[in-house]
Amino acid sequence: MLRIVDAERDGKLAEECLVFTVPTLILERDGMLVERWNGFVSGDRLERAQREVLGREGKGRKRRGTWEGDPETSSSN
């Protein structure tokens, strides 16, 4: 799933995710941080990382907080 967050409008989320550079791209799997990029990243690199992550099991770090509106953690969905 791709989620786009406006760091200026949602400063709390940006702070929770330690976003200090725009753009910041965070790749997660099952709520776990597996890759993070600050600044420009090529589409090829993102696609390669996505393919690599889809094949991984049990790797990554738990994110620091939950994202409001996240369908995996939101009770409103």
- Per DSSP, the residues of the chain read ------TTT-HHHHHHTT--SSSEEEEEETTEEEEEEES---HHHHHHHHHHHHT--S-SEE-SSPPTT-TTT-TT-
Residue with the bigger pLDDT between 69 and 4: it is 4
22 close to 40: Cβ distance less than 8 angstroms: no
Task: Report the pLDDT value the prediction gives residue 76, as an integer from 0 to 100.
Answer: 41
What architecture (CATH level 2) is domain 1-77?
3-Layer(aba) Sandwich (3.40)
pLDDT band at 56 (very low <50, low <70, confident <90, very high): low
Task: Report the pLDDT value the prediction gives residue 44, as an integer from 0 to 100.
Answer: 92
What number is the average pLDDT over the span 3-18? Answer: 86
8 close to 39: Cβ distance less than 8 angstroms: no
Domain boundaries, the chain: 1-77
Backbone angles phi, psi at 37, to 5 degrees: -130, 135
Residue with the bigger pLDDT between 65 and 23: it is 23
**Model pTM score:** 0.60
